A and B are shown apart, each in its own frame.
Chain A
Amino acid sequence: MSGEGFKIDLSESFEHLPNAPIVEAVIHWRARAERKLEPAALLDQLKAKLPDYPHSQRQQEFGVATQISAEGESVRQHHAWHGYRFESADKLQIAQYTRNGFVFSRLKPYQDWEKFQAEAQRLWCVYRELAEPSEIQRLGVRFINLIPVKPREVASLLTLPPRSPQIMKLPISAFLHQTKFNIPDHPYELNVVQTIQPPAPPERDSTGLILDLDVGTTRPIAFDEIENRLLQMQSIKNKAFFSLLKKPALKRFRS
């Protein structure tokens, strides 16, 4: 698939949208801990280092296994420690520390990139110190947008909307569209998910149009590359956002 015409241009500026539909912004470091993480000790260390994240929660991995014995079938559930989730006092910032890396999320209202990435990097340094990964297997920047719409409006807002076959002209009640794009000459890929979710109670009429933009590296990166990689991925994300939404959609976010 050709990528002719697209260049990462860090000097390109993008319009600031005061009412941007971002429900979650995420930076994800996939970097396996190379120091053995002992759950109780790690919790104590994290609590000491994150006084501004007072809510902590243990994260479990959950699996179900079925055992068939002479007495009949029995089901065994398995919970294994996976990591910890810390939330800021206002619960708008979430830090997930796991054996496989670190995830920082900012929920709405999103403020700005500078504050967001500075906080993410501050918390990443805590992970790096405690888990001692030797490299970053994948670094990702993800922005999830949620736009309230009437189902019939979807086609007028997206540049790549779902379509009904011309001959049948059936109304679309649901769709899920995922596309992965390579970024030519750069070690990145862009994963775009477009879908709608039913009205979330107590809402009854308004469907949520989700535009999920996830940019990630395609090869391991060194620690001193983080800053530059984040800037480039932010630029790709911005370009994708303004390319995938039509003008009437953007207009909604200006005030």
Chain B
Amino acid sequence: MTTTLRGGSQTAEYIQRQLADQRRFLHESAALGIEQVLRDELADTWEECSQPDWDGYNALPVTTGSLTNAGRLLLSLPLGTKLPSIGAIPSGHISLEWHHSRRRTLTVTVDEDGDLRYAALLGPGRVCGTEPFFDETPQIILDLIARVYQC
């Protein structure tokens, strides 16, 4: 998976690779990292949902663009973030769910254009919206994850 390169020189590319390698190394930590989710849950979702009609109700296949962006989003989460459950929705997009209880839950769907659509139930309140994803988790998503588990 790649990220947008902010620069055009070989040196810029070298820096980006070094930083990504370091981060990836930390993500391999069982305590802090997201590697296991990428390897297991995201891969399982892809395996189960990459064919048309994977739900028996004419669901669209999960797109590789959504899969790639979901992987990037997971890797951009701060180390140690509570891990989400991974799934897919019938429009062919990967969904990440942080679930604490019936009324404290957050779902983020990731499309191939890099738009994040989020919907949260927080007790009596509902929050939803769309944020562009530029390889950094939007602050509102981080705030909502924290609020899901804040009770």
- Chain B residues 5-46 with CB under 8 Å of chain A are 5-9, 11-12, 14-15, 18-19, 22, 43, 46
Q: Which of B6, B19, B22, B43 makes the CB contact (< 8 A) with A103?
A: B6
The secondary structure that dominates the A interface is strand
Across-interface contacts of B134 in A (CB, < 8 A): 30, 100, 137-138
How far apart are B137's CB and chain A's nearest CB, in angstroms? 14
Nearest neighbor of B3 in chain A, beta-carbon distance: A61
The 3 closest A-B pairs by CB, nearest first: A78-B64, A63-B68, A94-B8
Query: Are B12 and A65 closer than 8 Å at their CB atoms?
Result: no
Query: Are A105 and B50 closer than 8 Å at their CB atoms?
Result: no
Question: A28-B6, A140-B6 are contacts. A23–B64 as well, Cβ < 8 Å?
Answer: no
Across-interface contacts of A193 in B (CB, < 8 A): 15, 19
- Chain A residues 1-50 with CB under 8 Å of chain B are 23-24, 26, 28, 30, 32
Is B112 an interface position by the 8 A CB rule?
Answer: yes
Q: Which of A26, A66, A82, A146 makes the CB contact (< 8 A) with B6?
A: A26
How far apart are B122's CB and chain A's nearest CB, in angstroms? 24
Q: State in angstroms the CA–CA spacing of A99 and B47 once bound together.
A: 29
How far apart are A75's CB and chain B's nearest CB, in angstroms? 11
26 contacting pairs across A/B (C-beta < 8 A): A23-B9, A23-B11, A24-B12, A26-B8, A26-B12, A32-B132, A61-B2, A61-B65, A63-B1, A63-B2, A63-B67, A63-B68, A65-B67, A67-B50, A68-B47, A80-B64, A94-B8, A96-B8, A98-B4, A99-B113, A103-B5, A105-B7, A144-B7, A144-B9, A144-B12, A210-B15
Interface mask (B70-92 → A, CB under 8 Å = 1, otherwise 0):
01000000000000000000000
Q: Which of B7, B18, B46, B71 makes the CB contact (< 8 A) with A142?
A: B7
Q: State in angstroms the CA–CA spacing of A30 and B50 once bound together.
A: 31
Is A107 an interface position by the 8 A CB rule?
Answer: yes
Q: State in angstroms the CA–CA spacing of A65 and B63 once bound together.
A: 10
Query: Are A24 and B43 closer than 8 Å at their CB atoms?
Result: no
Is A178 an interface position by the 8 A CB rule?
Answer: yes
Across-interface contacts of A32 in B (CB, < 8 A): 132
Q: State in angstroms the CA–CA spacing of A80 and B1 once bound together.
A: 12
- Chain A residues 67-94 with CB under 8 Å of chain B are 67-68, 76, 78, 80, 82, 85, 94
Query: Are A78 and B68 closer than 8 Å at their CB atoms?
Result: yes
Beyond contacts A107-B9, A214-B6: 20 other A-B pairs, Cβ-Cβ < 8 A, are A23-B9, A24-B8, A24-B9, A30-B134, A61-B2, A62-B1, A63-B71, A64-B1, A65-B46, A65-B67, A66-B46, A76-B64, A80-B112, A99-B113, A100-B114, A100-B134, A103-B7, A138-B134, A144-B12, A176-B18
